[in-house]
């Protein structure tokens, strides 16, 4: 077993698993995760083991992945590429959460200090949680639009967020409901997503409610409920939230000016290119929005790619994501691949190299004569950096 995981038997029937990298707040490495897999296998095969206690050495429970060097999981192919290696790392970690959930014995998380990222995923996957008074729970990736379930098991995350959402806690319940809504949407449970997002939207939580309203508006727009989508976006805009309100305002403009008559707005895409060349960013942005609002099957996706690039240059990451997603969802054979590349660039900027690689790989597989080459080049750069 790995030196980074220690197992003891403090009493009959109890297996204590301790993460043992106290100098790094027990940050996860490939060796540690492999050691946890081995310890859980030991518990699973031991008929005398009745309960498992999971804790950390020193003053921390687990600080998440070691960003200075996670390492490489075992059993990789000799000719494995960067994309496949990244996917194997994700599976190595995610299956750990699944192992915990499927273990026949109850697992108690003895949270003796900070639990962040992947460490929090371990806590959520456990059956019971006992936290010290100085324990801290953190999901830093939420600040850039991601969440803890990306590091764990969807089933475990949904169960945990459902319990937290039903707790009635003034802070935790709305935040959990937002996460649950986003996860339900991703899993295709539209009714569950709407219910969770409506709960968070009605909570009046200063952060959860605006973002829930934006997500609810996007979901209702996808379902063809323009009236419901507008109401949700208006609620988010009225909140005055510094990030959610501008994003809701952009969505409202696109929604209200969407006749879908197939006609290009005055000026069209040519005007957009001219304005960009002249450096008139404000006018170019307005021209892009007008072309998108026209619903033209060719020019609207192209304008959305241009708008995404403009917003990204201005630092409006959320607005850029909306524009790129619009173009990507169009599945236009020429413009959608460029939108996916734009999403990859944004994700790289946000530090999510794994999802950026997936985006670039999908463009490579699309076979687009120019975009595939750019995506392949970006994949090589990510491989060199990562």
For 184-205, give one letter per residue: b (16+ CB within 10 A) or e. Answer: bbeeebeebbbebbbbbbebeb
Residues 347 and 215 in one domain: no
Predicted local distance difference test score (pLDDT) of residue 15: 97
Asked if residue 232 and residue 204 are part of one domain, the reply reads: yes
Check whether residue 17 and residue 115 sit in a common domain: yes
pLDDT at 142: 52
Q: Based on the domain organization, do 166 and 209 belong to the same domain?
A: yes
| Dihedral in degrees, nearest 10, Cα atoms 197, 198, 202, 205 | 0
Q: Are residues 29 and 54 in the same domain?
A: yes
Task: Based on the fold, state whether residues 221 and 177 are members of the same structural domain.
Answer: yes
Please check whether residue 101 is in contact with residue 129, taking contact to mean a CB–CB distance below 8 angstroms: no
Listed residues 116, 142, 168: the one ending a domain: 142
Measured CA to CA, the distance from residue 32 to residue 122 in angstroms comes to 13
Q: Would you call 6 helix, strand, or coil by DSSP?
A: strand
Domain boundary among 142, 170, 205: 142
Tokens 């994309």 locate to: 83
How far apart (Å, rounded) are the C-alpha atoms in residues 366 and 324? 17
The Cβ of residue 255 has, within 10 Å, a number of other Cβ atoms equal to 17
Q: Do 54 and 129 have their domain in common?
A: yes
- Domain end position, chosen among 89, 108, 142: 142
C-alpha 322, offset from chain centre: 15
- Within-domain flag for 147: no
In a domain, 261, yes or no: no
Report the C-alpha gap between 374 and 39 in whole angstroms: 44
The strand ranges marked E within 57-123 are 107-111, 115-116
d(CA 163, CA 379): 39
Based on the fold, state whether residues 47 and 121 are members of the same structural domain: yes
The pLDDT of residue 175 is: 86
Whether residues 330 and 229 fall in one domain: no
Q: Which of 235, 282, 281, 228 is nearest to 255 (CA)?
A: 228
Return d(Cα 363, Cα 311) in angstroms, integer. Answer: 22
Tell whether 135 is covered by a domain: yes
Residues 14 and 125 in one domain: yes
Q: Is residue 75 part of a domain?
A: yes
CATH of the domain at 69: 3.90.226.10
Domain count, the chain: 3
Residue 56 lies in a domain: yes
Task: Give per-10-residue mean pLDDT for the chain (386 aa).
Answer: 90 97 93 95 94 96 87 75 74 86 94 90 92 83 47 61 82 86 82 92 90 89 84 90 79 60 37 54 76 79 85 81 87 88 85 84 85 81 60
Q: Is residue 263 part of a domain?
A: no
- Whole-angstrom Cα distance, residue 162 to residue 266? 49
Pair 17, 52: CB distance under 8 Å: yes
Domain range for 304 is 271-385
Q: What is the pLDDT of residue 259?
A: 40
Q: Domain check: are 229 and 352 in the same one?
A: no
pLDDT for the residue 282: 74
Query: Is 212 found in the same domain as 341?
Result: no
In this structure, are residues 255 and 225 in contact, taking their beta carbons and an 8 Å threshold? no
Q: What does the pLDDT read at residue 145?
A: 42
Instruction: Indicate the pTM of the whole model.
Output: 0.43
pLDDT value, residue 256: 61
CATH number of 342's domain: 1.25.40.10
């Amino acid at each position: 077993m790995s030196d980074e995981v220690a197992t003891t038997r403090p009493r009959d029937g109890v297996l204590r698993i301790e993460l043992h990298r106290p100098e790094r707040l027990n940050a996860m490495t490939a060796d540690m995760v492999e050691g946890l897999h081995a310890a859980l296998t030991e518990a699973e095969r031991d008929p005398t083991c009745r309960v498992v206690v999971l804790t950390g050495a020193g003053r921390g429970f687990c600080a998440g992945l070691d960003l200075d060097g996670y390492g490489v999981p075992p059993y990789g192919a000799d000719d494995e590429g960067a994309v496949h290696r990244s996917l194997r790392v994700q599976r190595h970690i995610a299956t750990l959460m699944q192992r915990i959930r499927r273990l026949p014995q109850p697992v108690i998380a003895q949270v003796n200090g900070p639990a962040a990222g992947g460490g929090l995923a371990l806590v959520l996957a456990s059956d019971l949680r006992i936290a010290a008074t100085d324990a801290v729970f953190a999901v830093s990736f939420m600040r850039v639009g991601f969440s803890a379930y990306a590091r764990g098991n969807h089933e475990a995350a949904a169960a945990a967020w459902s319990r937290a959402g039903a707790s009635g806690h003034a802070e935790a319940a709305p935040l959990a409901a937002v996460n649950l809504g986003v996860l339900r949407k991703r899993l295709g449970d539209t009714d569950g997503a709407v219910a969770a997002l409506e709960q968070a939207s009605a909570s009046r939580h200063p952060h959860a409610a605006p973002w829930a309203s934006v997500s609810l508006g996007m979901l209702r727009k996808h379902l063809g409920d323009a009236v419901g989508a507008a109401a949700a976006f208006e609620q988010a805009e009225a909140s005055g939230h510094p990030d959610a309100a501008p994003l809701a305002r952009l969505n409202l403009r696109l929604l209200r000016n969407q006749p879908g008559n197939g006609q290009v707005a005055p000026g069209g895409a040519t005007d957009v290119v001219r304005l960009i060349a002249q450096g008139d960013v404000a006018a170019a942005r307005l021209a892009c929005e007008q072309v998108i609002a026209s619903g033209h099957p060719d020019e609207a996706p192209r304008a959305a790619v241009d708008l995404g690039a403009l917003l990204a240059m201005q630092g409006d990451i959320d607005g850029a994501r909306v524009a790129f997603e619009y173009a990507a969802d169009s599945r236009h054979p020429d413009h959608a691949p460029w939108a996916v590349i734009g999403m990859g660039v944004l994700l790289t900027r946000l530090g999510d190299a794994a999802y950026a690689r997936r985006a670039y790989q999908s463009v490579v597989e699309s076979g687009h004569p120019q975009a595939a080459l750019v995506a392949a080049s970006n994949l090589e750069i990510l491989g060199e950096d990562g």
